[in-house]
Structures are given as structure tokens and as C-alpha cells.
Structure 1
Amino acid sequence: MMEFPGDLKYQPTHEWAKIEGDVATVGISAHAQDQLGEIVFVELPSVGDSLEKGAVAANVESSKAVGEVVTPFTGEITAVNENLEDEPEVVNSSPYGDGWIFKIKLSNPSETDGLLDAAGYQGTL
């Protein structure tokens, strides 16, 4: 059975967010990477990009499909995981750790209220 860390928030579209102050680290869930299969390429956003909640922030490509990474928040991209350019498979091996995709500074912290906890997310699978 897959684990879903309880300190994270989730979207039904399979993104997770770790919120620290007004910055959130975002990645895709273990379920999402499992469904995609072996990740071969991650198209990252650019630092400084301003995104609206629900916008496609990144694309994760596998041998089977391309998955869109939808930002759970409105805000500005403050960091991207450049290691994924050379080692996209880290999303598979460490989806909640080294496989994070981007960090975003929240313009509207109340947007976190609409996210699911681990149990709620498991209920959507």
C-alpha cells in the first residue's frame, strides 16, 4: 500500500504541497508517479513565473504518457528542482523528497484551505 505523508496537503489532481510560511513546495504523489510509470523528462517552470491557481506549472513525461502538474496556488515560482533535468527518475524514487518539482510563494494563503489531507486524498483514489 502506498504511503501519503500526513504533513502534506493534496489536490485531487495528484499534486502534493508542503507549506512552510508563505512558500509551498509542490510535487506529484506516489500514486501519480506510479500511474505514469518511469519518468523520462520533467518540463519545469521558470523562476519568476507568476501562475494562477489551476494553471499547468510543469509537465512530467513518461514512456507511457505526459502528466500535467497543476499549481494548487496563485503565486510566483521561487525555485525549481534543476536536478530533475538530468535525473527525472528521482520523481519515481523519491516523490515526496528529492523529487519535488517547484516552490511557489503564495499570493493568497487562504487557497490552502481547499486542499485535502492524506486521508481525504486517499479517498479520491
Structure 2
Amino acid sequence: MKFTEEHEWLMVDGDVVVVGITAHAAEQLGDVVFVELPEVGTEVVADDEVVVIESVKAASDILAPVDGEIVEVNEAIVEEPGKVNEDPEGAAWFFKLRVEDLSALDDMMDEAAYKAFIAD
């Protein structure tokens, strides 16, 4: 897995990257009450706002970590937003992105670097 400074995790599966938020981010948000996902087929550029999350504490946007095309979204978290708090780094992934250049992930943090980042 790779991690971003925006508290997203990425898992590579062939040319597809699965994107979600970290347990740390879910904890900071508090109880998630609403998730709005992008349309499948949407082309995104790194740092585009892709997902809207609302919690009891705040509203947040999830940004595209890299350029690509949305190929799948997780409808289960739209129907039950609380899943984001229950399993943020597993079943509560947000979207899958087909990526042409996986080297864009090379500069992202590994798990040890992310743990050091959130410890600061």
C-alpha cells in the first residue's frame, strides 16, 4: 500500500489503483453520515476533487491521488456511510482508478513513512 499526505491509501491491482482513506483520517472525521462518489468513466487529474464526505464534524473532499479514469465506485458506502468508520482500510474503499503511469505512485509514502508522518 501507498499513502498520501491527504490521508488516502492506495493499493495497486494491475493497472488499477484502489483508493480509500486511512483509519487515521476516518478517526479525525468522526462518524461519516454521507458519501458522494464520482461517476464511473470520469477522467480525473491528480488533485481533482473526486469524493465528498460529510461527517458529524465536517465536510471533506477526497482528491484524485494520480491521473486516471474512474472504473468502479463502492456503492455500499453510499448506502451505509458508517462503513467508512468501521473498515476504512478495507471494505470501505471509495473508487478504483485505471492509471496509465503507475510510476506516479513512486514518491508516495509506504506504511512506515505514513505512520511517522501522522506521529508528528
Given the two structures, how large is their TM-score scaled by the length of structure 1? 0.91
> What amino acid maps onto 1:48 in structure 2?
G
Q: Which of the numbers 29, 32, 37 marks the counterpart of 1:39?
A: 32
Runs of 4+ with deviation above 2 angstroms: none
Is the counterpart of residue 25 in structure 1 residue 18 in structure 2?
A: yes
Size of the aligned set, in residue pairs, is 118
Where does residue 104 of structure 1 map in the other structure?
A: 97
Q: Deviation of residue 69 (structure 1)?
A: 0.8
Where does residue 4 of structure 1 map in the other structure?
A: none
Percent sequence identity is 42
Pairing of 1:1-12 with structure 2 (within 5 A): 8-12=1-5
Distance 1:89 1:114 in 2: 31
Given the two structures, how large is their TM-score scaled by the length of structure 2? 0.95
Q: Secondary structure at the match of 2:61?
A: strand
Distance 1:85 1:67 in 2: 15
Q: Deviation of residue 60 (structure 1)?
A: 1.2
Q: Which of the numbers 30, 33, 56 marks the counterpart of 2:49?
A: 56
> What amino acid maps onto 2:49 in structure 1?
V
Where does structure 1 lack aligned partners over 5 or more consecutive residues? 1-7
Distance 1:61 1:10 in 2: 21
Distance 2:107 2:74 in 1: 25
Distance 1:72 1:123 in 2: 20
Q: Write the deviation string for residues 83-121 of structure 1: whole angstroms up to 9, x where unpaired.
A: 112101101000111100000000221101121001111
Where does structure 2 lack aligned partners over 5 or more consecutive residues? none
